[in-house]
């Protein structure tokens, strides 16, 4: 058995575990971020709905005031009718009253439209408020799950790193630094068994003489094709 190779493969096994754990950690953030973004979008939409409701309520109040104002005018005209002494004045007062009545009818029509729109806007807002409550609850749950998962992964990473540190001690320094250099650009694996006469990673054929040396001495060699460490499987 080749002790260097065994130690190197054990080191790589720990690194693969750590790599997998780090990828799991990395996947946790987007989950939280996605919920945050949905909440921000929903909050924006709600703010717009609230503004729209506010604007419509202002219109409603304004039209109601106008209706009250014009009805008061009609009442005043009606009162004046009693005091009218000639036909000309009566005709003028009647015309004025009819005009005011027509305005009130139009304004009441406007009010119906405004009320209907306000109902719709309030329904939308209500729906958004419900959605936000559901989302906030989901966010709470997700945060709890992510925190628990992160704690579990952090624990596993600590164990794997401790194991890696122990194993690293057993790998020859020059081989370890070669391996570490390769892993800077290539993860998770940097060591490959040869596949027949070729590199197990990139399938580049290895010249017979090198192959021969590797199989006889158990040497660990760098692939000229892709730069990984190769060994001849026993
Ligand atoms: Zn290769």
197 and 87 together in one domain: no
109 and 30 together in one domain: yes
Residue 150, number of CB atoms within 10 A of its CB: 14
62 and 151 together in one domain: yes
91 and 129 together in one domain: yes
120 and 214 together in one domain: no
Range of the domain at 212: 190-234
Residue 147, number of CB atoms within 10 A of its CB: 12
Of 172, 186, 174, 170, which is closest to residue 223 (Cα–Cα)? 186
DSSP secondary-structure letter at 196?
A: T
CA of 219 to the centre of ligand 1 (A): 16
40 and 97 together in one domain: yes
* Residue at a domain's end among 151, 166, 187: 187
Number of domains in the chain: 2
162 and 204 together in one domain: no
pLDDT tens for 169-190 read: 999 999 999 999 999 999 899 9
104 and 127 together in one domain: yes
Please identify every residue whose CB atom is under 5 Å from ligand 1, which is an ion: 199, 201-202, 204, 223, 225-226
CA of 206 to the centre of ligand 1 (A): 9
Q: Is 193 helix (H, G, I), strand (E, B) or coil?
A: strand
pLDDT tens, the chain, 234 aa long: 468 899 999 999 999 999 999 999 999 989 889 989 999 999 999 999 999 999 999 999 999 999 999 999 999 888 888 888 888 888 888 888 899 999 999 999 999 999 999 999 999 999 999 999 999 999 999 999 999 999 999 999 999 999 999 999 999 999 999 999 999 999 899 999 999 899 999 999 999 999 999 989 989 999 999 999 999 987
Q: Omega into 76 within 30° of 0, i.e. cis?
A: no
**What gap in Å lies between CA 142 and CA 153, rounded to an integer?**
16
Residue linked to tokens 């005209």? 77
Cα torsion through 195, 199, 203, 205, rounded to 10: -100
CA of 13 to the centre of ligand 1 (A): 19
């Amino acid at each position: 058995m080749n002790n260097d190779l065994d130690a190197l493969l054990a080191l790589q096994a720990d690194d693969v575990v750590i790599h997998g754990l780090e990828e799991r950690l990395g996947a946790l953030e987007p989950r939280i971020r996605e919920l945050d973004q949905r909440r921000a979008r929903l909050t924006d939409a709600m703010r717009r709905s609230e503004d729209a409701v506010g604007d419509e309520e202002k219109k409603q109040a304004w039209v109601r005031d106008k209706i009250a104002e014009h009805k008061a005018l009609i009442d005043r005209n009606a009162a004046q009718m009693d005091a009218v002494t000639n036909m000309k004045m009566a005709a003028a007062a009647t015309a004025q009253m009819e005009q005011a009545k027509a305005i009130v009818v139009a304004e009441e029509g406007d009010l119906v439209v405004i009320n209907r729109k306000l109902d719709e806007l309030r329904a939308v807002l209500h729906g958004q408020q419900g959605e936000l409550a559901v989302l906030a609850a989901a966010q709470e749950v997700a945060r709890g799950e992510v925190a628990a998962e992160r704690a579990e992964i952090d624990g596993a990473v600590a164990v794997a790193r401790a194991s890696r540190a122990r194993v690293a001690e057993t790998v020859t320094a020059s081989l370890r630094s070669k391996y570490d250099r390769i892993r800077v650009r290539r993860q998770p694996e940097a060591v490959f068994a040869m596949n027949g006469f070729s590199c197990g990673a990139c399938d580049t054929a290895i010249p017979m003489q090198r192959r021969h040396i590797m199989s006889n001495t158990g040497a660990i060699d760098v692939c000229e094709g892709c730069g990984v460490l190769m060994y001849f499987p026993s």
